[in-house]
Amino acid sequence: MIFLASFIQCLFLGMGFNNGIPEEGLKNSFILDSIGEILPLDTVELVPVEVFSPSLEKYTYGQLVRRMKDDDLESFQGLSLSDYLQQRTGLFLRQYGAGMLASLTMRGTSAGHNAVFWNGLPINSPSLGQTDFSILPIGGFDELYLHFGSGGALYGTDAIGGAVHLNSKLKFGQGHGLQLGTHAGSFGRWNQQVQYGFSSEKISLRTRVYKNVAQNDFLFRNIAKPGTPIERQEHAAFQQTGISQDLAFQLSSDQLLSSSLWYNQTEREIQPVIGSNTLDEQIDRNLRWVMDYFKFIGKATWNFKTGLLKDHLIFNGSQNSTMQLFLIGDLDWEISPGISSKSGIRYTHIQGKLSTYSAQEDRLELYQSTNLSLSEDLHVSINLRQFIYEGNFAPFTPSLGMDWLILSNKGQELKFNTNGARSFKVPTLNDRFWEPGGNPDLAPESSWNAELGVSHIWRRGSLMLNQRLTHYQMWVNNWIIWLPKGSIWSPENIREVHNKGLEYFLDADYKMENWTFELQGNYNWTSAINQSEITDNDRSAGNQLPYTPVHKFQTLLGIKRGIWNTYVNYQFTGSRFVGTDNQDIIPSFQLWDWGIRMREIETTWIKGSIGIQINNIMNTSYQVMRLRAMPGRNYQINIQIKL
Amino acid sequence: MRKFNQTVLVILILFGILSCVEEGQQIPLGEFEKGVLVINEGAFGVNDGEIYHYDPITGLIKSNIFEGKNRRPFAGLIQDMVEAEGRLYLVANTGKVEVVDPRDFLSKGAVVEGLDISRSIVTTNQKLFIADWGPYDANFNSPNSYVAVVDDLDGGGITKKIPVSSRPEKMFVSGNQIFVATTAGKKLEVISLDSETITSFQDLEGSPGGFFELLGTLILYAYDAEMVYFHQIDKTTGNIQGVLPVGLKWATSNFTLSEDGEMLIITSTGWPDYNDAIARVSIVNRQVLNEAIFTGSGFYGIGYHPGLKEIYVGDNNGFQGNGTVIVLDQNGQQKKSFAVGRGPSGFLVKE
């Protein structure tokens, strides 16, 4: 019911209502603040109303979709999404050095087994099949959602282990606003961001410009040299610039048009492996544009979306470009109080001009999502999707999920969640067309996922505790592996993997007079066991997949008082195997971070905040990937000013 | 009494001499002075090259002996391993040469600055000469290849770079000259040790795989898709005196000498079929004796133990994990296999 209620609320918001109060009500001398308390107003002001966007959680009964806290994102302004996810979640990213390529693994799957969306557009590269999380700056979006587990029926290709959603979020009724952000830190890090926005009751505009640079010349122990001297990292500098433009226009009380544009360019010296002297360089240019049209008719919402993604990657002068054009239409409507439905179609045209081949492809997806409220306590989501690419049918992907509220009273709430889903990943353009070695006969990778979870909310006085435990099992087959065929590497559908694991999340708050104590915790136990052997001499069956830690734990203890906020963050990443035969191991590591922030410093004209962070307090020497040096203790200062 | 004293003195001297002799005989062999050293090249981007030691008598395998003895990883892709001047040189194509004591593998030094893509090494005149492809250009060609000179057998800084044609691979020291075979240039070049410059060059048939001596003749093995070529080289002048071609399809650079003027060559059809085999070729008779004494895929290195008459074949297992060494008898029948490191690419047999 909570989801249905939020959906209905969103519909109202989209139609110019705020928490159920008609527009004309906004002109009265009372408004609702963010926690629903009625506050008197001395003067009439414009009221912030969020621009409507479809709920990502609506058809996900039985699954877990987490929205990451805005406060957390704010303290990572200018840093990369990979840094944030590695430090503040139980997810593991394969980081090939500081600021270098970072790929996400969810539930023990590989880099390309998670879908990444920006404002509803899938942004995984069609040629590489994955996203480099190190070139997604936190300041480039407003909201971050993580969907844990199989999402093929909801999102299409790639969402085998989960999905990541990056969204822009505009508001109406805020007038003019200028924000300046600066972030300086060790190793030549200097990030600058300027944002100007204007919004009235009908229109909202925002422009952001940013520039992030880092010399990345941290000290590390060069274990490749006799005597293992301490040296300064060379050839790891990067520079990132970008601009984004968001627009929302309330065409009428039942029509909304929104558009976002994001251009991001990252130039990097590729940090060499310890003991190597490579001087590789990479430039990534990404242009993303999306436009949504919403039409609200009674309890139905029509959404027509179009978008364009252009990715240009230059590696040592070798040029690789892809372009994706999207046309999407769907209808989301509440059939009855207990039934809602979303039906849609997505067409994608892809063009790739890579260094060794050119290719184009058309994709068509039909999808249907249904929510059934069988009772007040029992809700079911059914999702179906059929994906067709160049006349080939990807595996039909259904999912069935359920939330069952077992116990609900003033003190606590207990809910069971269960979900079964199929997912798939279409072979990338490189998998099929790379010259030489591409294999056009590859089948899509396919998975079945089953999960069972329990979530518990407990309230006692000023203490609130929210936790969730999920156990999942996943079977992935036709997993694509590139293998050497003499001097040429070629991909094959060869691996089968059985993944299982536990995910635990904890959020706790305790308020004591002016003090607030906050505790966050994430723990992932991941077993990703290879079931297949490539050759007679292969010894990989029965072993954990490489670079997949069995354990990852992260916790943050925060204390707030007035405008002050301080925290200690701890993460433990378990040992990882280098190869499929589990012979060589990279040791586990533990990192401690500390930060303090002074928020909402306010004068007549400006508001601001300032924060200081010390990362890797213990100056731990560690590697995420073998022989990829990572920085020791480092310092950052972060200043935000709002005019 | 005097006689007695003289007798005692003689006995003492003899005892002393015998004691010295006995002590000399009791000096134990170094841990790695006998057996088979397996070069594991390592995986690109992981740089986990390592050396394993295999005792063919006991079957005992010691893994990661460089890291085990020196408490740090090799951290490179091992391209060549050469024993010379009482040292063992490990050449990484990631721009490094490690120098270790062949008895215990303890580090004696290294060349860590100034190299690019080092491929092989020779020693002479108390100097190191390191063949290096030089940096890649934008199209991954190697137009600035060189032979680097280091004036200390234990490594250190590079004192000179001798430009050679593209992609020098194997070298051979003969008198006051170094012969350099280049794979992209497809040339045999002669470096004078007096001037440390190229003094002559000749074109090669096929792509060079390596030098060896047979019955007093210096031979350079080369190959292409259809043939293998044995270039007979005058050790005094460096001139190619003749080329013996033998028809063998899909030969690779991987070969080892066996016995009776024969060699074993890994052949590979490559992509897409990727069928590998071990061919037996008589150099003396210029004929292929057996195109496939053993077949499979993933063959990455080959070695031969003359004492035990065993053939060692490195299987890279698709580079997904560590590799395997397959032990064959002289006829190509598999005797056993054992696990080694990533990408077993070569063997140094020490009898």
Q: Label residue B7 left, alpha or beta by phi (over 0 means left) and psi (-120 to 50 means alpha).
A: alpha
Q: In this predicted structure, what is the pLDDT of residue A626?
A: 93
Q: Which CATH architecture has domain B77-204?
A: 7 Propeller (2.130)
Which residues in chain A are contacts of B76 at CB distance < 8 A?
A: 224, 275-276
Which residues in chain B are contacts of A545 at CB distance < 8 A?
A: none
Reported confidence tier of residue A36, pLDDT bands at 50, 70, 90: very low
Q: B115 to each of A96, B91, B118, B129, B148, how far by Cα in Å?
A: 23, 11, 6, 12, 8
pLDDT for B108-129, tens place per residue? Answer: 999 999 999 999 999 999 999 9
Q: Would you kindly state where each structural domain of chain B is located, as residue ranges? A: 77-204
Q: Which residues of A139-174 are buried (b: 16+ CB within 10 A; e: fewer)?
A: bbbbbbbbbbbbbbbbbbbbbbbbbbbbbbebbbbb
The predicted model gives B207-233 an average pLDDT of 96
- Which residue, chain included where needed, has tokens 């282990």? A161
Which residues in chain A are contacts of B47 at CB distance < 8 A?
A: 273-276, 626-627
Largest CA distance in chain B: 92
Nearest CA in chain A to B318: A483
Is the peptide bond preceding residue B272 cis, with omega within 30 degrees of 0? yes
- Tokens matching residue B149: 């000179």
Enter the pTM of the model: 0.88
Q: A507 to each of A71, A465, B296, how far by Cα in Å?
A: 14, 6, 56
Among B320, B322, B334, B336, the strongest candidate for a mutation testing the A interface, having the largest count of A CBs within 10 A, is B320
Give the residue among A91, A185, A108, A180 at the shortest CA–CA distance from A139.
Answer: A180
Q: CB-based contact (8 Å) between B269 and chain A?
A: yes
Q: In this predicted structure, what is the pLDDT of residue B270?
A: 86
Nearest CA in chain B to A489: B271
Query: d(Cα B174, Cα B218) in Å, to the nearest integer?
Result: 10
Which residues in chain A are contacts of B112 at CB distance < 8 A?
A: 224-226
pLDDT for A176-202, tens place per residue? Answer: 999 999 999 999 999 999 999 999 999
Neighbouring CB atoms inside 10 A of A312's CB total 16
Q: In this predicted structure, what is the pLDDT of residue A605?
A: 77
* First vs last C-alpha separation in chain B: 53
Give the residue among A23, A117, A20, A13 at the shortest CA–CA distance from A65.
Answer: A117
The predicted model gives A233-239 an average pLDDT of 96
Q: CB-based contact (8 Å) between B42 and chain A?
A: no
Q: Which of B109, B138, B322 sits opposite A581 (nearest CB)?
A: B322
Q: Would you kindly state where each structural domain of chain A is located, as residue ranges? A: 2-271+293-642
> Do the Cβ atoms of A316 and B138 come within 8 Å?
yes
Q: Which of A223, A486, A626 sits opposite B270 (nearest CB)?
A: A486
pLDDT of A565 over the 60 cut: yes
Q: CB-based contact (8 Å) between B5 and chain A?
A: no
Among A220, A277, A488, the strongest candidate for a mutation testing the B interface, having the largest count of B CBs within 10 A, is A277
> Do the Cβ atoms of A224 and B75 come within 8 Å?
yes
Neighbouring CB atoms inside 10 A of B22's CB total 9
Asked whether A46 and A137 are in contact (CB, 8 A), the reply is no
Q: CB-based contact (8 Å) between B47 and chain A?
A: yes
- Tokens matching residue A458: 């407990």
Q: Which of B110, B116, B319 sits opposite A225 (nearest CB)?
A: B110
Which residues in chain B are contacts of A436 at CB distance < 8 A?
A: 271
> Do the Cβ atoms of B272 and A228 come within 8 Å?
no
Asked whether A239 and A267 are in contact (CB, 8 A), the reply is yes
Query: d(Cα A160, Cα A521) in Å, to the nearest integer?
Result: 24
pLDDT of A26 over the 60 cut: no
Which residues does A177 contact at the CB level (< 8 Å), separation at least 6? A195, A196, A197, A198, A642, A643
Q: CB-based contact (8 Å) between B76 and chain A?
A: yes
Which residues in chain B are contacts of A540 at CB distance < 8 A?
A: 320-321
- For residue A481, the distance in angstroms to the closest alpha carbon of chain B comes to 9
Phi, psi angles (nearest 5°) of residue B146: -160, 170
Nearest CA in chain B to A585: B48
> Do the Cβ atoms of A580 and B138 come within 8 Å?
no
> Do the Cβ atoms of B73 and A483 come within 8 Å?
no
Q: CB-based contact (8 Å) between B141 and chain A?
A: no
pLDDT for A304-315, tens place per residue? Answer: 999 999 999 999
Neighbouring CB atoms inside 10 A of B101's CB total 15
Query: d(Cα A499, Cα A479) in Å, to the nearest integer?
Result: 13
DSSP secondary structure letter of residue B206:
S
pLDDT for B57-104, tens place per residue? Answer: 999 999 999 999 999 999 999 999 999 999 999 999 999 999 999 999
> Do the Cβ atoms of A627 and B270 come within 8 Å?
no
Query: d(Cα A103, Cα B317) in Å, to the nearest integer?
Result: 25
Q: Which residues of A7-44 are buried (b: 16+ CB within 10 A; e: fewer)?
A: beebbbbbbbbbeeeeeeebeeeebbeeeeeeeeeeee
DSSP secondary structure letter of residue A69:
P
pLDDT of A27 over the 50 cut: no
C-alpha angle A5/A11/A12, rounded to 5°?
90
Give Cα A306 distance to the centre of its chain: 21
Asked whether A137 and A78 are in contact (CB, 8 A), the reply is yes
DSSP secondary structure letter of residue A629:
B
Q: Which of B45, B135, B298 sits opposite A535 (nearest CB)?
A: B298
- For residue B249, the distance in angstroms to the closest alpha carbon of chain A comes to 14
Query: d(Cα B180, Cα A424) in Å, to the nearest integer?
Result: 52
Helical (H) or strand (E) element with A6: helix A2-14
> Do the Cβ atoms of A224 and B72 come within 8 Å?
yes
Q: Which of A226, A273, A582 sits opposite B110 (nearest CB)?
A: A226
Neighbouring CB atoms inside 10 A of A374's CB total 11
Q: Up-side HSE of residue A256: CA atoms within 13 Å toward CB?
A: 30
What value does the mean pLDDT of chain A take?
Answer: 90
Which residues does A446 contact at the CB level (< 8 Å), separation at least 6? A395, A422, A423, A424, A476, A477, A478
- For residue A493, the distance in angstroms to the closest alpha carbon of chain B comes to 14
For chain A, the residues whose C-beta falls within 8 A of a C-beta of chain B are: 223-226, 228, 273-279, 316-318, 436-437, 481, 483-488, 490, 534-540, 543, 546, 578-584, 626-627
- Tokens matching residue A531: 């079931």
Helical (H) or strand (E) element with B296: strand B287-296
Q: Up-side HSE of residue A56: CA atoms within 13 Å toward CB?
A: 22
> Do the Cβ atoms of B319 and A484 come within 8 Å?
yes
Reported confidence tier of residue A3, pLDDT bands at 50, 70, 90: very low
Which residues does B260 contact at the CB level (< 8 Å), separation at least 6? B282, B284
DSSP string, A425-482: EPPPHHHHH-TTT--TTPPPEEEEEEEEEEEEEEEETTEEEEEEEEEEEEEEEEEEEE
The predicted model gives A150-157 an average pLDDT of 96
Which residues in chain B are contacts of A537 at CB distance < 8 A?
A: 298, 315, 317, 323-324, 326, 337
Q: Up-side HSE of residue A103: CA atoms within 13 Å toward CB?
A: 20
pLDDT for B16-55, tens place per residue? Answer: 544 544 444 556 778 898 999 999 999 988 899 999 999 9
In B, residues 281-320, which contact A (CB 8 Å cutoff)? 296-298, 315-320
Query: d(Cα B89, Cα B98) in Å, to the nearest integer?
Result: 6
Which residues in chain A are contacts of B61 at CB distance < 8 A?
A: none
Q: Up-side HSE of residue A182: CA atoms within 13 Å toward CB?
A: 3
Asked whether B52 and B63 are in contact (CB, 8 A), the reply is yes
Phi, psi angles (nearest 5°) of residue A464: -130, 130
Report strand pairing: A114-118 vs A162-167.
parallel
Asked whether A604 and A631 are in contact (CB, 8 A), the reply is no
The predicted model gives A325-341 an average pLDDT of 96
- Which residue, chain included where needed, has tokens 């691979």? B169
Nearest CA in chain A to B99: A226
Query: d(Cα A7, Cα B246) in Å, to the nearest integer?
Result: 78
pLDDT of A597 over the 50 cut: yes
Check residues A42 and A127 and name the one with the higher pLDDT: A127
Is the Cα dihedral B214, B229, B251, B133 positive or negative?
positive
What value does the mean pLDDT of chain B take?
Answer: 92
Q: CB-based contact (8 Å) between B254 and chain A?
A: no
Is the Cα dihedral B244, B249, B254, B255 positive or negative?
negative
Q: Which of B63, B75, B318 sits opposite A534 (nearest CB)?
A: B318
- For residue A400, the distance in angstroms to the closest alpha carbon of chain B comes to 35
Asked whether B150 and B156 are in contact (CB, 8 A), the reply is yes
Which residues in chain A are contacts of B336 at CB distance < 8 A?
A: none
Q: In this predicted structure, what is the pLDDT of residue A72?
A: 82
Which residues does A487 contact at the CB level (< 8 Å), separation at least 6? B270, B271
Q: In this predicted structure, what is the pLDDT of residue B29?
A: 76
User: Which top CATH class is A2-271+293-642?
Assistant: mainly beta
> Residue A547, SS3?
coil
Reported confidence tier of residue A116, pLDDT bands at 50, 70, 90: very high
Query: d(Cα A60, Cα A54) in Å, to the nearest integer?
Result: 13
pLDDT of A8 over the 70 cut: no
Among A273, A537, A583, the strongest candidate for a mutation testing the B interface, having the largest count of B CBs within 10 A, is A537
Query: d(Cα A156, Cα A474) in Å, to the nearest integer?
Result: 17
Q: CB-based contact (8 Å) between B200 and chain A?
A: no
DSSP string, A213-255: EE----EEE-TTSTT--EEE--S--EEEEEEEEEEEEEEETTE
> Do the Cβ atoms of B317 and A275 come within 8 Å?
no
> Do the Cβ atoms of B326 and A537 come within 8 Å?
yes
